[in-house]
Amino acid sequence: MAERSLTLMAVHAHPDDEASSTGGVLARYAAEGITTVLVTCTDGRCGDGPGGVKPGDPGHDPEAVVAMRRAELAASCEALKVTHLETLGYADSGMTGWAANDAPGAFWNTPVAEAADRLSELFRRYRPDVVVTYDENGFYGHPDHIQAHRITMAAVERTDIPAKVYWTTVPRSAFQEFGRVMKEIGVEFPEPDGPSDAMPQLGLPDDEITTWVDTRGYSAQKFASLAAHASQAENIFFLQLGQEQFTELMGVETFVRVRDTTDAPTPEDDLFAGLR
């Protein structure tokens, strides 16, 4: 009997989330012969429509957006050579405070236990050795990202299957460099609402990051994955970088290890350290 392949599962909220924070590791580990599973929790209906039309504006057809983003997600998975794509199909909840948060079928409005049951079934089917998702704040506070975190951690607790669990993050030093480069190419970011000291800081100090994975050799695939989500290009700032700058800024993906049964030392440079 053939030995079972090691398996990586990434649990993300929307179509396109897989590309920015885990596109590199999905491509790298697929190339290394590891089975990769992407779970996308929502249908992305609160994204931009054709021509950049915004949710709630005239001409925004949520069902058309869903179909368009489903096709884009498939193209992204092809670019990254994802082995298995699983879509839970919950309705995109939109940003915090949107009416979509409370809509029937919205991911944010779904009981954690119910969604965790469905994800647990995928855990049992694929037996992931490594699981990646967001931290408890969904990295930047998006309701669907927070919900993806909650159901993933509930599924981990229920099944006790993955040997290692990681949350995506970004070193704060990288934010400074990213801001400098984007300013150089003329991209201005909107100022956050409210006092700046009330806004949570994104990312982590470099010394709190446990895992730094070099994915520079897969930057072309990661860029193609992002570009596959062309309907959301206005919100994907990384697409305005050239390939060289993109590789420089986005060529290392970083994580915090929150579950480990291998005793692999940290900092580490491989999500599968201790497993192979």
Q: Give the pLDDT confidence score for residue 200 in this predicted structure.
A: 56
Tokens standing for 164? 């290692």
Q: Give the pLDDT confidence score for residue 198 in this predicted structure.
A: 43
Contacts of residue 167, Cβ cutoff 8 Å, sequence gap at least 6? 132, 133, 134, 135, 149, 255, 256, 258
Q: Give the pLDDT confidence score for residue 193 in this predicted structure.
A: 47
pTM for the whole thing?
A: 0.92
Among 32, 6, 33, 21, CA closest to 274: 6
Query: 3-class DSSP state for residue 7?
Result: strand
Domains (range + CATH), the chain: 7-188+201-260 (3.40.50.10320)
Query: 3-class DSSP state for residue 133?
Result: strand
The stretches in the chain having pLDDT less than 50 are 1-2, 192-199
Query: 3-class DSSP state for residue 41?
Result: strand
Q: Give the pLDDT confidence score for residue 188 in this predicted structure.
A: 64
Q: Give the pLDDT confidence score for residue 194 in this predicted structure.
A: 43
Percent of the chain with pLDDT over 90: 76
Among 116, 142, 112, 141, CA closest to 131: 116
